Amino acid sequence: MSMPFGYASPEQIMRDRAEYARKGIARGRSVVVMQYADGILFVAPNPSKALHKISEIYDRIGFAAVGRYNEFESLRLAGIRYADINGYTFNRNDVTGRGLANLYAQQLGMIFTESIKSLEVEIVVAEVGDSQAEDQIYRLTFDGSVFDEQGMAVIGGQAEAVAGRLKERYKDNMPLPEALEAALVALTEPGGERPPATQLEVAVLDRGREHRKFLRLTGPRLERLLKTVKSETKPDKPAEDVSLPEPPTAPDGDIDTGSAE
């Protein structure tokens, strides 16, 4: 192998690659993934109806990503293939978020060290369990590092600032409207305007659902949910009426909207 003109040390190359990837990822908007009472909530400001940042991978597993669309889309498709192959070969219960996170970590790490350009993506793999203690949220960065997050994860954009705001409001066992409110507050810069329902991509992994736990909240359903969030007074209807028709995603009783302070 010939020595390239203008030698750069491996440390320098890695640093440059990392910086390049970080810049690309910070350019977009943040995505929030967090636990709520009945599962895991995904919220992403996203004006596009077609190019999703949040997706279903398998029965209990969801995926969220920021960065370059074409790059995380190919990761998403690979994840679906991996999950479907494993579920078909063994059993549906044998597909785990941990396995998928490891697969992604290998691929991201390999590309980071071997390619000229690392992937400009950051992803979250979340798996909803039978109870809150069994929920798992993994955050993966462009270099293949895996972080086992507790309760919440923020990726992309001004991730640290958003995570800071989310931490202030985050509580264990929040009902869905309250969790959504917390996510929206975190995603909105102080003094900034909240994105309308049409500019939001919201989905849940709801442990109460049968078969496939992933559910995209769109259209009237999301608007109703956002209205519950906004209203200052406590609504007299139980939470399930405003969120999902079946099965309930929030326990019976009054909702603490989190905004009445």
Binding site residues, other proteins, CB under 8 A: 50, 52, 55-57, 74-75, 77-78, 80-82, 84-85, 87-89, 103, 106-107, 211-212
Using CB atoms within 10 Å of the CB of residue 126, give its burial: 0 to 12 exposed, 13 to 18 middle, 19+ buried: buried
Residue 109 CA from chain centroid, whole number: 20
Nearer to other proteins (CB atom), residue 84 or residue 256: 84
CB of 259 to other proteins, least distance (A): 32
Hunting for tokens 């259209």 — which residue is that? 219
Nearer to other proteins (CB atom), residue 15 or residue 117: 117
**How many Cβ atoms sit within 10 Å of the Cβ of residue 137?**
24
The stretches of the chain forming alpha helices (DSSP H) are: 10-26, 69-89, 97-114, 159-169, 176-187, 219-230, 239-242
CB of 181 to other proteins, least distance (A): 27
CB of 126 to other proteins, least distance (A): 15
Nearer to other proteins (CB atom), residue 63 or residue 170: 63
Nearer to other proteins (CB atom), residue 58 or residue 170: 58
CB 80 within 8 A of CB 57: yes
CB of 124 to other proteins, least distance (A): 17
